[in-house]
Amino acid sequence: MEKGPRKARRRAMAALALLPFAGAIGAEPEVPVRIGLTPVFLDDQAGFLRQWKAYLERRLHRPVAFVQRGSYREVYELLGLGHIDFAWLCGYPYVRLGRRVKLLAVPVFQGKPLYRSYLIVPASDARTRSLLDLRGRVFAYSDPDSNSGYLFPRYYLIRNGENPDTFFLRTFFTWAHRKVVEAVASGLAHGGAVDSYVWETLAQIHPELTAKTRVAAHSPEFGHPPFVARSGASPRDFAALQAALTGMDDDPEGQALLRRLNLDGFSVERPELFDSIARMWRATQGA
- Render pLDDT for 165-185 as a digit per residue (tens, 0 to 9): 999 999 999 999 999 999 999
**Residue 128 pLDDT > 60, yes or no?**
yes
Task: Give the number of C-alpha atoms closer than 13 A to the C-alpha of residue 87, restricted to the C-beta side.
Answer: 32
CB 224 within 8 A of CB 115: yes
**d(C-alpha 198, C-alpha 203), whole Å:** 8
Helix, strand or coil, per DSSP, at residue 132: helix
**Residues with Cβ < 8 Å from 177, sequence gap 6 or more?**
41, 142, 146, 148, 149, 194, 195, 198, 199
How much is the average pLDDT of 155-160? 98
CB 14 within 8 A of CB 244: no
Among 9-13, 59-63, 179-183, 196-200, whose mean pLDDT is lowest? 9-13
**Residues with Cβ < 8 Å from 102, sequence gap 6 or more?**
228, 229, 230, 231, 233, 238
Among 3-7, 91-95, 203-207, whose mean pLDDT is lowest? 3-7
Indicate the pLDDT class of residue 106, thresholds 50, 70 and 90.
very high
**Residue 11 pLDDT > 60, yes or no?**
no
Residue-level pLDDT at 264: 98
**d(C-alpha 212, C-alpha 95), whole Å:** 34
The amino acid at 70:
G
Residue-level pLDDT at 30: 81
Instruction: For the chain, give the percent of residues with pLDDT over 70.
Output: 89
